[in-house]
Amino acid sequence: MDKKGRKTGVVSEKEIENQREFSEKVSSVLSGIYNETPLACVVTYGCQQNVADSELIKGMLSKMGYGFTENRTEAKLIIFNTCAVREHAEDRVFGNVGRLKTYKRENPDVVIACCGCMMQQQHAADRIKLSFPFVDLVFGTHVVYRLPELLYKALTRKKRIFELPDADGAIAEGIPVLRDNDSRAWLPIMYGCNNFCSYCIVPYVRGRERSREAEDVINEARSLIESGYKEITLLGQNVNSYGKDLIPNVSFAELLERINALPGDFRIRFMTSHPKDCTEELIETMARCGKIAKHLHLPFQSGNNRILKEMNRHYSRERYLELINYAKELMGDSLSVTSDIIVGFPGETYEEFKDTLSLVEEVKFTALFTFIYSPRKGTPAAEMPDPVSAQEKGRWFRELTSLQEKISAENMKKYAGKSFKCFVYGKGKLGDNYLAARTDGNLIIEFEGDENLIGTFQNIKVTEPLTYVLKGETERK
């Protein structure tokens, strides 16, 4: 709180109102320029946090009078919401922005904007400034809520706008959201990260951890459920440390418990968990609460203790296994565990990498997200000697992915004949009459059924495990 009793770290109502006024001003500028609804194209890279930010961006744009298109060459506004986690994601952004040069030359009234994690790095913003002069607006991760004001300036001034403050962004409540899906919703519960894993750029581009007030999160969850959402995924870089900055403290387990108690038939998911902050209490809460999906996404990154130390992860292989075993003990077969792994961290030897393989063998993950280490400027790991060649790391990577393919295939076979309560989320791919449904553990089952089942929970029995999906049928009641 500040001296006048206002909450610090939260965007004031006055400022939100100010942005509403800018939103109306943009609306009238747009109706002065265009006879029909101008279209915006929002291109999103990276993680679910970015997807959630893009939903806010679309919510604000919709209020300003934009419609939406996936086709860049019919858009009057193109926004690239970028990711900085690996070099590959950055290269794609520069490539895709570069391809708009001619379009912008032929359509000078089109506004091109870049935002997101990558822009929050000085070198990337500088490169846009110097090499992509047709980009009109660049804004960082801390000022997304100020889009109406920034867009107003971009539309009315003949000047490029770069708005990239470094300070941790205050939390903005009450921003309109336009969700991509009407049954699954992303619900950010916190922003930023305090962990500084030595390879990771996130703490530099998204600032320190800030939790949303529990009441705000619960109210948003309640209104999502009331409007028919069936799956709510709570988002944060490290959800297990949710609430440590709130007064009074609220633990993540407590937040889950309170959302679980809301009335309605829905499912709660959450990501990402960090093994150093994941507690037995959280696992017990998962096991006890009927509406929490029995799915734990718990990245371990490496199975070797020396590498974990170099990565600044603050847990050991043994502690990781202890958590997984406890979760398996409480949730048995209904538990699904997924993880992230980095292959070829600087200085990692093949012997050390074998510890990652053996951990994968031991846990039997439902799915893995595997990445070859990518040096990120400004992080400690980028300064470490990295003698192993890219080809060699590629071989390790393939060894890991083929091991996981073998494990996934064995896992899939185990599901034959089993029944799952599934959420039917859309049309399937196996044939015209097929629908696709998701189990608690995030497995996909396709089955033949009428389209009016979309958006409902159904009990489905697996009849045939395929490579990546399961085939099933609805159970007779």
Binding site for ligand SF4 (CB under 6 A): 193, 195-197, 200, 202-203, 237-238, 274
Q: Which of 111, 122, 120 is nearest to 150 (CA)?
A: 111
Judged by beta carbon, residue 151 or residue 271, the one nearer ligand 5AD is 271
Judged by beta carbon, residue 41 or residue 197, the one nearer ligand SF4 is 197
Distance between CA 320 and CA 340 in Å, rounded? 13
Site size with ligand 5AD, rule: CB under 6 A? 12
The site partner of 342 among ligand SF4, ligand 5AD, none (C-beta below 5 to 8 Å per kind) is ligand 5AD
The site partner of 374 among ligand SF4, ligand 5AD, none (C-beta below 5 to 8 Å per kind) is ligand 5AD
CB of 346 to ligand 5AD, least distance (A): 10
CB of 201 to ligand SF4, least distance (A): 8
Residue with tokens 């943009």: 26
Q: Is residue 118 within 8 Å of residue 83, measured between CB atoms?
A: yes
Instruction: Say which DSSP state 118 is in.
Output: G
Interaction with ligand 5AD in 299-358: which residues (CB under 6 A)?
A: 299, 301, 340, 342
DSSP secondary structure letters along 19-48: HHHHHHHHHHHHHHH-SSPPEEEEEE-SSH
Q: Does 86 bind ligand 5AD (CB under 6 A)?
A: yes
Looking at 10-18, 214-222, 238-246, 372-380, which segment touches ligand 5AD (CB under 6 A)?
A: 372-380
Judged by beta carbon, residue 301 or residue 411, the one nearer ligand 5AD is 301
The site partner of 274 among ligand SF4, ligand 5AD, none (C-beta below 5 to 8 Å per kind) is ligand SF4
CB of 299 to ligand 5AD, least distance (A): 4
Q: Is residue 85 within 8 Å of residue 118, measured between CB atoms?
A: no
**Amino acid identity at 87:** E
CB of 452 to ligand 5AD, least distance (A): 37
Name beta bridge partners: 181. none
Q: What are 108's two structure tokens?
A: 């000078």
Judged by beta carbon, residue 40 or residue 278, the one nearer ligand SF4 is 278
What are φ and ψ of residue 275, in 5° steps? -55, -30
Residue with tokens 């998701």: 438
Judged by beta carbon, residue 87 or residue 109, the one nearer ligand SF4 is 87
CB of 14 to ligand 5AD, least distance (A): 36
How many of the other CB atoms lie within 10 Å of CB of 246?
16
- Give percent helix, percent strand, percent coil of the chain, each to the nearest 5: 40, 20, 40
CB of 238 to ligand SF4, least distance (A): 5
CB of 191 to ligand SF4, least distance (A): 11
CB of 341 to ligand SF4, least distance (A): 12
Tell me which of 80, 199, 300, 420 binds ligand 5AD, using CB under 6 A: 199
Q: What are 65's two structure tokens?
A: 């009078």
Q: Which of 137, 120, 114, 282 is nearest to 192 (CA)?
A: 120
Tell me which of 104, 230, 317, 376 binds ligand 5AD, using CB under 6 A: 376
Question: Residue 10: CB partners within 8 Å, gap ≥ 6?
Answer: 170, 171, 172, 173
CB of 330 to ligand 5AD, least distance (A): 24
Calculated CA dihedral for residues 349, 351, 355, 361, nearest 10 degrees: 120
Looking at 11-19, 167-175, 371-379, 441-449, which segment touches ligand 5AD (CB under 6 A)?
A: 371-379
Q: Does 82 bind ligand 5AD (CB under 6 A)?
A: no
Residue with tokens 């809520």: 145
Judged by beta carbon, residue 216 or residue 340, the one nearer ligand 5AD is 340
Q: Does 422 bind ligand 5AD (CB under 6 A)?
A: no
Q: Does 85 bind ligand 5AD (CB under 6 A)?
A: yes
The site partner of 371 among ligand SF4, ligand 5AD, none (C-beta below 5 to 8 Å per kind) is ligand 5AD
Residue with tokens 């001296």: 3
Question: Residue 231: CB partners within 8 Å, gap ≥ 6?
Answer: 183, 184, 185, 266, 267, 269, 423, 425, 438
Q: Is residue 286 within 8 Å of residue 260, measured between CB atoms?
A: no
Residues that bind ligand 5AD (CB under 6 A): 85-86, 199-200, 299, 301, 340, 342, 371, 373-374, 376
